[in-house]
Chain A
């Protein structure tokens, strides 16, 4: 009896482990390139493009002298995705320290990096920053903007 049970147990290990590998790992791997995620530009195939973009933006920021904040209007997206996006931006901006800003923070950074998910969010935020003496020195169609604080009031 015990021998039979032992054999059944071994068969279960073989079947379940192969099943888990094939169904959960191999099949999704075959379909993986068809997937499209919302933050595609930030996360997958366009990562090289993103790296080039960030390297370009970084040229505007003097090394070791400037403080830089980052801001984005709360998107119509889950908060997790919003935070994740900012982590990826921070990751690509290392070793520049990005201070997280909310709309209530004092805007006392030399630079502010902004990322807007939706084009309709651009204008109010850009106007709000302009009123605080921040001018656009970089902007692109993917929603990235870099603002620099003007020295004179």
Chain B
């Protein structure tokens, strides 16, 4: 009986934020074809975690560390959204029927059937092994128990002393707190710091990324192409292992991907500004998850603004960027508040000084070391360094380059340009973080480079599969 009650509470505490996010996303993007409904559902899983962590943060800094206020806030917002959608039911229905038949059915040739069936088998095997490995290793890997889950335990156990979670006794007290806050929120609602919550969150983010890539490539191209993109992600061990490790890198990767997908889809949707505002929220949540998200925020705003300016003029660029900022502002306010009040200095920033930074910037041997490591990691992209049987999925992308569409065709797609330029700028940004790092360079690269590439990998797979010829397309 107690177990049944716990399961019901567990389901409810996870479902409430997802419903809130789904209703919010649905109220700004009204198109409803099959792929888009799935995209919205997967989006709402990650958005739900991020948004409810913001609610939890606002309530604990305002009313103290009690879950009642957070629950109350979530309920009020849920009721508001339900009433709003009920009042706009007629409008929704029109859009539903208008778009109902815009479904890309899988081409029924045998290639397409094989691809689809193999994808489902791969997904089943991947999820099953994820669950078994999580059961064996319930606390995740190093950073999970050293940083993310320890901080969540503080927030859960320390009562009014919760800000001790950002004590300098612990590693990286400046790290943003989306993940610890959401874990602590779920533990508070459940009344116990069970290991199942971080495991479920890892599972949700990992497979939502796969879902978004499959559905958005299907929406923009064909279902076979979507399933192939999903298979590439499922076969990428560093990606699945990061989710299994309960690291914040996978939620960060989710928010990078969703920002890029929303900006890519905006041209195809009737509610362009809704997609841009949601992209603003996603980019903000990326910065709320990890410090690398702040770099992403700068990169995406710059590339989005300058490319829109180049192609559509400054008036359109200003209008679009303002909509983006409207979505971003609430999350950004929380990030600034957290950084000013609670977070101490970042190790990389604190370690800078005019002379020391200049010395590192002009030391060209550092550039050579970093470049060598980057090329090595990009080529042999695999997590299990001692496992010689792992085949890096980057091979697939290198081999698929000959299938890229003609440059004229790609040039016509402005959305893809945002994405490609943003990813390139992120790589350059990561490169220069290594150049100026005050930490031991080899140690820093060896302990982080692969995770940095995992951040960008789903977005790269999404862009790549939109840029190559479709399976069904005549060559």
Chain A residues with CB under 8 Å of chain B are 2-3, 5-7, 9-10, 12-14, 16-26, 28-30, 32-33, 35, 43-44, 47, 64, 84, 87-88, 90-91, 94-95, 97-100
- Taking a contact as CB atoms under 8 Å apart, the answer to whether A18 and B118 are in contact is yes
Interface centre among B138, B139, B232, B395 (most CB of A within 10 A): B139
**What's the dominant secondary structure at chain B's contact region?**
helix
- Taking a contact as CB atoms under 8 Å apart, the answer to whether A87 and B150 are in contact is yes
**What's the dominant secondary structure at chain A's contact region?**
helix
Chain B residues with CB under 8 A of A32: 132-133, 136
Complex: chain A residue closest to B130, CB-CB: A25
* Complex Cα spacing A145 to B387, Å: 38
Total A-B residue pairs with C-beta atoms closer than 8 Å?
134
Contact of A17 among B128, B154, B161, B234 (CB under 8 A): B234
- Taking a contact as CB atoms under 8 Å apart, the answer to whether B145 and A91 are in contact is yes
Is B399 an interface residue, CB under 8 A from the partner? Answer: yes
Contact of B157 among A29, A84, A95 (CB under 8 A): A95
What are some 19 contacts across the A-B interface (CB < 8 A)? A6-B469, A12-B399, A13-B232, A14-B115, A17-B232, A18-B231, A20-B236, A21-B126, A21-B235, A23-B389, A25-B129, A25-B240, A29-B132, A43-B137, A44-B136, A47-B138, A84-B142, A87-B150, A97-B169
Chain B residues with CB under 8 Å of chain A are 111, 114-115, 118, 121-122, 125-126, 128-130, 132-133, 136-139, 142, 145-146, 149-150, 153-154, 157-158, 161-162, 164-165, 167, 169-170, 195, 228, 231-232, 234-237, 240, 384, 387, 389-391, 393, 395-396, 399-400, 402-403, 469, 471, 475
Chain A residues with CB under 8 A of B122: 17-18, 21
- Taking a contact as CB atoms under 8 Å apart, the answer to whether A6 and B236 are in contact is no
- Taking a contact as CB atoms under 8 Å apart, the answer to whether A16 and B396 are in contact is yes
- Not counting A21-B235, A87-B146, a sample of 17 additional A-B residue pairs whose C-beta atoms are within 8 angstroms of each other reads A5-B403, A9-B403, A12-B399, A18-B231, A18-B235, A20-B391, A21-B126, A21-B129, A23-B390, A25-B133, A29-B128, A43-B139, A84-B146, A88-B145, A91-B146, A95-B162, A97-B164
Chain B residues with CB under 8 A of A95: 153-154, 157-158, 161-162, 164-165
